[in-house]
Structure 1
Amino acid sequence: MSEQELQQIEANVRFALDQLGPLSDVEFGLNEESVEWVEGFIERQRCRPDFDLEQASGLVGVLGSFLGACIASATGGRWHKLDQDRGWGVLLPDGSTVFPVTKVRKQFRDGLEGGETITSLYQVAVEFVATGKLQAARKGSTDQ
Structure 2
Amino acid sequence: MDEQELQQIEANVRLAIDQLGPLSDVDFGLNQASVEWVEGFIERRRSRPDFDLERIDGLIGVLGSFLGACIVANTGGSWHRPGDDGWGVLLPDGSTAFPFAKVHKQFRDGVEAGESIVSFYRIAVDFIATGKLREAREGGAGPR
Q: What's the TM-score, normalizing by structure 2?
A: 0.96
Q: Which secondary structure state, in structure 1, belongs to the residue aligned with residue 138 of structure 2?
A: helix
C-alpha distance in 1, partners of 2:110/2:22? 24
Which consecutive unaligned segments of at least 5 residues does structure 1 have?
none
Q: Deviations over 1:35-54 (max 9, x none)?
A: 00000000000110001111
Aligned twin of 1:111: 110
Aligned twin of 1:12: 12
Aligned twin of 1:41: 41
Aligned twin of 1:136: 135
> How is 1:79-118 mapped onto 2 (pairs within 5 angstroms)?
79-84=79-84, 86-118=85-117
> How is 1:43-62 mapped onto 2 (pairs within 5 angstroms)?
43-62=43-62
Aligned twin of 1:2: 2
Shift of 1:60: 0.4
Q: Deviations over 1:49-97 (max 9, x none)?
A: 001111000000100000000000000001010012x100000001000
Q: What's the TM-score, normalizing by structure 1?
A: 0.96
Aligned twin of 1:123: 122
Which consecutive unaligned segments of at least 5 residues does structure 2 have?
none
How many equivalent residue pairs? 140
Match of 2:26, as an amino acid?
A: V
Aligned-residue identity in percent:
73
Match of 1:21, as an amino acid?
A: G
Q: Which secondary structure state, in structure 1, belongs to the residue aligned with residue 115 of structure 2?
A: coil
C-alpha distance in 2, partners of 1:139/1:115? 26
